[in-house]
Copies of this chain bind each other. A is one copy, B any other.
């Protein structure tokens, strides 16, 4: 596989998962660090998300758990909460994934993630 195919496969995966929100991140990078957008598409989505062995829904809930546990990634959580909803993960499952992490990371990071989720749900209801 050459790199243009990785890019193409990654872009399709990104669009499939994140819809407009993912494309908006890449676009926002185009003036300051276009290669960062390229690596996200090629490596994160082209190499990793295109792997077999886990379903897309499994990958998204793992992403939520990883971002929540890392801390300080509320902007990335927003993109991936949208992505999770977008690929058909139920809203209450998203919250359940976050509650599962309490014993491992404590309440503060879970609270940050849940309030980020609440904000997204409120924005969607407000449309």
Q: Which residues of A contact B (CB under 8 A)?
A: 1-3, 6, 25, 28-29, 31-33, 35-36, 39-40, 43-44, 47-48, 51, 53-54, 58-59, 61-63, 65-73, 75-76, 92-93, 95-112, 114-115, 117-118, 121
Instruction: Tell which of A62, A112, A114, A117 has the most Cβ of chain B within 10 Å.
Output: A62
The residue that A43 contacts in the complex, of B69, B71, B103, with Cβ under 8 A, is B103
Pair A104/B36 contact, Cβ less than 8 Å:
no
The residue that A100 contacts in the complex, of B1, B54, B121, with Cβ under 8 A, is B54
Q: A36-B102, A70-B105 are in contact. List 14 more A-B contacts (CB 8 A).
A: A2-B3, A3-B3, A28-B118, A33-B98, A48-B99, A51-B96, A53-B92, A54-B93, A63-B100, A65-B65, A66-B104, A70-B104, A72-B72, A73-B112
Q: A96 — nearest CB in chain B belongs to which residue?
A: B53
Which residues of B are found within 8 Å of A96, using beta-carbon distances?
51, 53-54
Distance, CA A70 to CA B71, complexed state (A): 9
Q: A115 — nearest CB in chain B belongs to which residue?
A: B28
Which residues of B are found within 8 Å of A6, using beta-carbon distances?
3
The residue that A51 contacts in the complex, of B3, B99, B112, with Cβ under 8 A, is B99
